Amino acid sequence: MDYFLDDFQKDLVEQARRIGRERIRPVAAEYDLNGTFPWDLVKVFADAGFYSLWVPEEYDGLERGILDLVLVTEELSKYCGGIALSVAASALGTFPIVISGNEEQKKRFLPRLAAGEALAAFGLTEPSAGSDAGAIQTRAVKKGNKYVLNGTKVFITNGGAAKVYTIIANTDPEKGTRGASAFIVEDGTPGFSYGKEEDKMGIRASSTRELIFEDCEIPEENLLGREGEGFMVAMKTLDKSRPGVAAQALGIAAGALDLAVQYARQREQFGQSIIQFQAIQNMIADMATKVEAARAMLYSTARMIDGGVKGYSKESAMCKVYASDVAMEVTTDAVQIFGGYGYMRDYPVEKYMRDAKITQIYEGTNQIQRMVIARNLIKEAQKVS
């Protein structure tokens, strides 16, 4: 079903599908086992124009929007959720520049990011500030025409692989969230180094690193927007990027469903393929229904964002919550359909289950997303009354 996609989007999906089938599927298990970052595939994605989809045309991008990012991320994630993150995470790191960057900043950074010559990453999470984004401890102190950063960011996707980082740091701790500011920090800046590389349960082909800032001096022209706007930049960024997480989750679920159906057609028990059993048919019917429902919600939200609708925080949170919960349910059921083989690394489906779990956690846990949804519903009810 094309979901009313235009010709460009149909070609985009087919291109991503071909790359997934021919380039990702053969290496996914090896990259997962070894925790290998997919540099060879980053080049393939760059040549395909995937990194330019969300960048405005005047900065060498295609300016296609969130739906196109969702389509690519979903399709690549059907083959490997970790490898697909090299695209989605770079979008996350680029969005703050697109949203709040001035003309000089956009000209300086966006063409490189659009071309895939450099990857981007987003630095918000800290050891004591995950879902509580207002509790960040990283400090940025103005000294002359520079800011001096000190602090540590953790669990940063594309950490160590990216060349451009958008970092949220505190410029005035007494103001709470209104004291946070956003900065662009480039790889190789003195005082900026990488710490622990995480050994993860899933998405192992994605790099997740600590970022360490020790008297790291960055020029004042790398401040995004004005001082005190960092929290706003972060929230706008996450509202825009959460459909990307939903797309990753959806792709993982859809990929696991495909594997489960294929296996159920081939696996024989009691003289017939197990797909003939009503219990298995009921499982795959429920799995497919959930996948389609998640896809419909996600595409609708992406179109809202691309259509210029103001205030899509609730819908962004909804599609992230639902798609990630579906991913966990569908991959768990897929393992069940594979039976004992589903638990073994000789078969790919266990990887999908491991990859799915993180989508319920990062870019705001699903518990936090439900709070966002509820608070928006309360505000809407107050306006009506």
Residue 174 pLDDT exceeds 70: yes
- 325-350 as b/e, with b when 16 or more CB fall inside 10 Å? bbbbbbbbbbbebbeeebeeeebbbb
In this structure, the dihedral spanned by the alpha carbons of residues 78, 82, 85 and 89, taken in order and rounded to 10 degrees, is: 150
User: Residues 240-292: pLDDT tens digits?
Assistant: 999 999 999 999 999 999 999 999 999 989 999 999 999 999 999 999 999 99
User: Residues 330-365: pLDDT tens digits?
Assistant: 999 999 999 999 999 999 999 999 999 999 999 999
Residues annotated catalytic, as ranges: 363
Q: What is the 3-state secondary structure (H, E, C) of 153-189?
A: EEEEECCCCCCEEEEEEECCHHHHHHHEEEEEEECCC
User: Residues 309-337: pLDDT tens digits?
Assistant: 999 999 999 999 999 999 999 999 999 99
Contact 95/242 with Cβ under 8 angstroms? no
User: Residues 74-131: pLDDT tens digits?
Assistant: 999 999 999 999 999 999 999 999 999 999 999 999 999 999 999 999 999 999 887 7
- What domains lie within the chain, and their CATH numbers? 7-119 (1.10.540.10), 121-228 (2.40.110.10), 231-379 (1.20.140.10)
Q: Are strands 208-219 and 180-186 parallel, antiparallel or unpaired?
A: unpaired
For residue 135, what pLDDT band results from cuts at 50, 70 and 90? Answer: confident
In this structure, the dihedral spanned by the alpha carbons of residues 47, 51, 57 and 63, taken in order and rounded to 10 degrees, is: 120
Contact 252/77 with Cβ under 8 angstroms? yes
- What is the percentage of the chain residues whose pLDDT exceeds 70? 99
User: Residues 218-242: pLDDT tens digits?
Assistant: 999 999 999 999 999 999 999 999 9
Residue 8 pLDDT exceeds 70: yes
